Amino acid sequence: MASVNKVILIGHLGKDPEVRHLEGGNSVANFTLATNEYYKDKQGTRIERTEWHHIAAWRGLAELAEKYLRKGQQVYVEGRIRTRQYQDKDNQTRYVTEIVAEEISLLGSRPGGATAQPAAAGSSAEEPVTFRQEPELDQLPF
């Protein structure tokens, strides 16, 4: 049956992306993204709560992440929720929920000490830095 599983995030990277190049030619970048919410508790004190999202960006988006994304950067991430099982060190089944990125756009200024420009030439700073994953590739098992 048709269904929709869509996530839209705007937040800041908690660290530089970690990129792994997998056997078979695939690559994946992982990074964390902070979103914040604010509310008042019963005493009226303003509380800030940070949610840390685990982002997985595959193939073309992994390259974008490697070239352009740095700790502190503000980005738009569109993707879908995916929960993976794994065995922890005590051989117990654990679950981790990730956001599989389908589109990433760089927003605003580029703080954090790192340059947002790619090290390599060929991609001018005037270009908008947006990338959407090709859906059919995005559907490969991983």
Q: Per rule CB under 7 A, is residue 21 in the interface with DNA?
A: no
Asked if residue 12 lies in contact with residue 73, where contact means CB atoms within 8 angstroms, the answer is yes
- Residue 67 binds: one of DNA, a copy of itself, none (C-beta under 5 to 8 A by kind): none
Q: Is 52 in the site for a copy of itself (CB under 8 A)?
A: yes
Closest to 53 (Cα-Cα) out of 40, 73, 36: 36
Q: 9: closest CA among 68, 50, 66, 58?
A: 50
- Give the nearest distance from C-beta 135 to a copy of itself in angstroms: 5
Q: Kindly identify the residues of this chain, within the stretch 78-97, that bind a copy of itself according to CB under 8 A.
A: 78, 80-83, 94-97
Choose among 13, 6, 68: nearest CA to 35: 13
Q: Which of residues 26-45 bind a copy of itself (CB under 8 A)?
A: 34-42
Query: From the list 30, 60, 63, 71, which residue makes contact with DNA (rule: CB under 7 A)?
Result: 71
d(CA 61, CA 67): 10
Write down the least CB distance from residue 50 to DNA, Å: 4
